[in-house]
Structure 1
Amino acid sequence: MEEGPLWVSEAAGLVSARREMAQWSKSFPDCGGVHQSPIDVETSAVHHDPSLMPVNVVDYHQPGHDPFILSNNGHTVKMSLPAWFQLGGLPWRFTAVQLHFHWGREWDGSGGLAGGSEHTVDGRRSAAELHVVHYNSDLYPNVSVAQSQRDGLVVLGVLIETGDDNNSAYENIFKYLEFIKYAGQQMPIPSFNVRSLLPTDLGRYFRYNGSLTTPPCYQSVLWTVFAEKVTVTRKQLKNLETVLFSNDGKDPKSVPLQDNYRTTQPLNHRVVLASFVPDSITSYTLGKLCAVVVGSLCGLMGLAMVIILLVKAMSSTSSWEALAAVRPAPSRRSKEHDKEQKQDTAFNTDPDPEKPEAPPKVEA
């Protein structure tokens, strides 16, 4: 998620940018925290929470008459959103601020398409990713204050793949990229139905507590990553990957704005909730049950054979003495029992959430 200062220098390529990412924690301590984003969503390990309702986007389909502001800040392409765009169904009101993209490059070193999404699912990276940023407007006056608070932000993540049909919703943005090629450029564009950028199904998603994916990496984000992906054509994706530059245009050596995604971070025992039951959970459970049943049957048959052989071999010993020789010792039962504690599915998906870190002081 892009919300902090820029991390790609004007002369930085992919290798130097990755090295710079590794050094973030030296200047921004939160970047070395244990609740960082993005993550790899391992579908076989998520926790299904049937209480999670479909995401309620309020007034996304009513953009108003004022234009949106599209800008290139040197790290991503960002579009402003009106304050009446909100999220419902959460403990507080969350107001939209902006949306932006993360992407890779047209070709990787082996001649194939290189993905650029930040979140991955079962280790697979998508072609690109859209983030829609909201802040807690009930508790905080603006996003700058909210971003350093544990309950400050909610971000919707949309994974993007390539397909055959032109995506007219995304074309509302992509067709203007050539006018903001260089860092610092911006322009007004006609407003449009932002709901059309999201997946059709808003009821299937993954949710977890994480962070901004750029410095200062505040661990203040409730992430919602939709399971359904949206598609754009390869031509549309190529436009996003090749038109923009990370420098301001004064440097004769223009630096393409590509690979602006952060690699996945360790989960560190966080709980990832799912509003639905992924297929991998179903297949894993059935397979495990079959293994348990088969193993139990084999164990019972083996025990029966041992008892029969012992009885025959020890004919001079009474049956009670023989059974005593193979009877397992009684197990000790624990006097204490764990008590389950229901987790807050909105802002406490972690089994042992860490104490919020105090935001660093920012000098004017």
Structure 2
Amino acid sequence: MGRVYFIFPCLISVFCLGATWDYTDTSTWTSVDSKCGGTSQSPVALAESTMTSATYQAFSITGDDVTLTETMTNNGHTVVVPITQTINVTGGGLTGTFQAAQLHFHWGSDSNKGSEHTLNGNQYPMELHIVTYNTKYADLATALPNSDGLAVLGFFFQVGSSDNANFAPIVSALSNVVNKDATHSITGFKLKDFMTVNMGKFYRYQGSLTTPTCDESVTWTVFAEPLSMSESQLATFRTLYEDTTTTKQMVNNYRPPLALNGRSVHLYTSNAPRLPLGISLAIFPLAALFIIV
């Protein structure tokens, strides 16, 4: 991606950082924040042949059936949607209750690339991240520096033969946020409609934000079964720009996989995708539109 300014508008006040970064050469991110050179960075290449099997209780998600009205923002790196309703996640091997803060996407210039994680050597055309934070901390900003602060749910996308109606509210809003800093209100969607995969098979490891400041505070869950979007829906994301002058197309906004450096990746398989609503415990609203993982 082209050059953009990484400036938090103090929505997450402790990270009001003025610096320039883009996706052209992610190896230069250490000059933005030294944490980007850490030993537990994300994304990683996921390979089932090297994983350790593990057993977890099923995920329980509450509040994800509420119809949401949120404000989508083009922040110059991606499109991000805050989650201002209380949606809580527990189970799935997570320790504690995690509250949803926001969701965003990573995609390529074509459908041969786009996802941040790879699976068994394959890269998908898009990856969705639902960012949550540990409610033992007061808010996302407080949680971020802590090793157990964040949990991100990652979903791959494959090219589908028809439009995915569940993502129509997102895709139809993109024409209103073509340029950096543009915002648009979207309504009529439920978070559960973005998670219509078998949540009983996933990959788990400890990692980081995939953009500066690269904090190593993320418990990653990447689901094996991909979601789908039609080629035309995926192409709509490629009509966005990372600047205000409609000069630099927003594509290939993904960080390449980083070394595991001895970290283990666990494979969990279950026949039960998740517990029914209300059976278990506890995700919170957005704290910063510029936290991308």
User: Could you tell me the TM-score, scaled by structure 2's length?
Assistant: 0.82
Write the distance in 2 (CA, Å) between the matches of 1:265 and 1:181: 30
| Aligned equivalent of 2:3 | 9
Other-structure match for 1:35: 40
Structure 1 partner of 2:78: 76
Look up the equivalent residue of 1:212 and give its one-letter code. Answer: L
Counterpart AA for 2:29: W
Task: Find 2:95's aligned residue among 76, 91, 95.
Answer: 91
The answer to whether the 8 A contact 1:63-1:82 is kept is: no
Residue number in structure 1 paired with 2:64 = 60
SS at match of 2:81: strand
Using the alignment, how far apart are the partners of 1:10 and 1:149 within structure 2? 27
Q: Larger relative CO (CA 8 A, sep 6+): 1 or 2?
A: 2
The answer on 1:255 being equivalent to 2:225 is: no
CA shift, 1:92, in A, is 1.6
RMSD, aligned CA: 1.8
* SS in structure 2 of the partner of residue 275 of structure 1: strand
Please report how far the alpha carbon of residue 83 of structure 1 lies from its aligned counterpart in structure 2 after TM superposition: 3.8
Q: For the structure 1 residues 199 and 268, does the alpha-carbon distance in structure 2 shift closer, same or farther, using more than 3 Å as the test?
A: farther
Alignment CA distance shift 1:38-1:192 (3 Å): same
1:19/1:188 CA distance change after superposition, 3 Å: closer
Query: SS of the counterpart of 1:205?
Result: strand
Q: Distance in 1 between matches of 2:107 and 2:211?
A: 14
The alpha carbon displacement at 1:18 in A equals 4.5
Task: Say whether the 8 Å CA contact 2:126–2:156 is kept in structure 1.
Answer: yes
Q: How much has 1:26 moved relative to structure 2?
A: 2.5
The equivalent position to 1:264 in structure 2, one of 246, 257, 268, is 257
Residues 2 and 23 in structure 2, CA contact (< 8 A), matched pair in contact too: no
Are the equivalent residues in 1 in contact too, given 2:126–2:158 (CA < 8 A)? yes
Query: Alignment partner of 1:201: what SS?
Result: coil
Q: Secondary structure at the match of 1:209?
A: strand
Q: 1:74 to 1:18 in 2, by over 3 A?
A: closer
Residue 172 of structure 1, CA deviation:
1.4
Q: For 1:206 and 1:193, locate their aligned partners in 2 and report how far apart those are by CA, in whole Å.
A: 24
- Please show how residues 134-283 of structure 1 align to structure 2 within 5 Å: 134-138=132-136, 140-241=137-238, 243-249=239-245, 254-276=247-269
The whole-number CA distance in structure 1 between the counterparts of 2:2 and 2:145 is: 22
Query: How far is 1:17 from its partner?
Result: 4.2
Q: 2:203·2:223 contact (CA, 8 Å) conserved in 1?
A: yes
Asked if structure 2 preserves the Cα contact closer than 8 Å seen for 1:57 and 1:88, the reply is: yes
Which residue of the partner structure matches residue 102 of structure 1? Answer: 106
Residue 82 of structure 1 and its aligned partner are, at CA, apart by: 2.5
For each residue in 1:317-364, what CA deviation from the matched residue of structure 2 results, as whole angstroms up to 9, or x when unmatched? Answer: xxxxxxxxxxxxxxxxxxxxxxxxxxxxxxxxxxxxxxxxxxxxxxxx
- The structure whose Rg is larger is 1
Task: Supply the AA of the counterpart residue of 1:105.
Answer: S
Q: Give the Cα–Cα distance (whole angstroms) in 2 for the partners of residues 26 and 166 of structure 1.
A: 41
1:343 matched residue in structure 2: none
**Counting helix residues as a fraction of each chain, which structure ranks higher?**
1
CA distance in 2, matches of 1:18, 1:256: 12
Deviations 1:153-204 (A, max 9, x none): 0000000010102100111100110001110011111141111111331111
Bigger drift between 17-26 and 182-191 goes to 17-26
The amino acid that maps onto 2:3 is S
Large movers: runs of 4+ above 3 Å: 16-20
What CA distance in whole angstroms lies between the structure 1 residues aligned with 2:103 and 2:188? 13
Verify the 8 A CA contact 1:99 1:131 in the aligned structure 2: yes
**Whole-angstrom CA distance in 2 between matches of 1:191 and 1:33:** 40
Q: Is the 8 A contact 2:23 2:252 kept in 1?
A: no
Instruction: Write the deviation string for residues 85-109 of structure 1: whole angstroms up to 9, x where unpaired.
Output: 1101232211100000000013xxx
User: 2-side partners of 1:91 and 1:221: how far apart?
Assistant: 12
Confirm or deny that 1:46 pairs with 2:51.
Answer: yes
Cα deviation, residue 19, structure 1: 4.8
Secondary structure of 1:213's aligned partner: coil
Instruction: Tell me the equivalent position of 2:10.
Output: none
Compute the displacement of 1:23 (Å): 1.1
SS in 2 for 1:190: strand
| CA contact 1:199–1:228 (8 Å) conserved in 2 | no
Structure 1 residues 31-51: Cα deviation after superposition (integer angstroms, max 9, x where no partner): 1011000001111011111x2
Identity %: 31
